[in-house]
Amino acid sequence: MHIELKLPCGCKPIDLDPTKHNADIVAMPAFWWESYDVECTLCSPPVPGETYKVQLHSPLSIDLYQKRWLYYEGPNAHYNGFDTAEDIESIRFCYGQISAILDIAEHHVLIEFKVEESLSHKDILNTHSTTTRPVDWSGTFSADNKHNTRGSKLGPYYVFYFSAQGDLGTTVIAVEEDNKMYVLFLYNWVMHERAYYAGKYLADDTLRAFSMEHCE
């Protein structure tokens, strides 16, 4: 069973093949229900072996029994953004299978999703190999974009936000360990097209300079 939902603007789903983005993990945005009867954000991170009710929004292209990565963040991060280190540590990249299609509406699909892996940033930092170039974010932190960028430091994490005219943006999360900075997370949105990327990418001097200039 194949489902494809498009928007009137013609936006298409982002290709989630990691090899096409030079990324370890590419995940779809998802809204995780607290339970099958309670339509609010799941309070605790998904657990491997468990099945959850999840809402996916258009544009999307999915198949029943397909395996893929879905993105999860805790309630405060979902509704208010990243305010604390705990918000960042609530993030999970969840790999699993679409085990059932529960409902299809004009702009969203409700599915059952059985989780096989649930990776935090610490899991990725400790288990993934280091690579030198993440998803193509090099232009995001160029000198021309300084006026569109803001940053903050939350515990050991650096969070950078870049936006252009409200319909194009990138959020990057990095962490320092052993005197090196690693990019662990990158969220890209262009109009209605959104995707989350994860990996262990060694940051270059440009990002280090931004951390010194924009983060307290």
What secondary structure, in 3-state letters, does the chain show?
Answer: CEEEECCCCCCCCCCCCHHHCCCCEEEECCEEECCCCCCCECCCCCCCCCEEEEEEECCEEEECCCEEEEEECCHHHHHHCCCCHHHHHCCEEEEEEEEEEEEECCCEEEEEEEEEEEECHHHHHHHCCCECCCCCCCCCCCHHHHHHEEEEEECCEEEEEEECCCCEEEEEEEEEECCEEEEEEEEEEECCEEEEEEEEEECCHHHHHHHHHHCC
Output the pLDDT for position 179: 83
pTM for the whole thing?
A: 0.86
Output the pLDDT for position 32: 95
Output the pLDDT for position 196: 87
Output the pLDDT for position 57: 80
- Residues in the chain, pLDDT under 50: 143
Output the pLDDT for position 120: 95
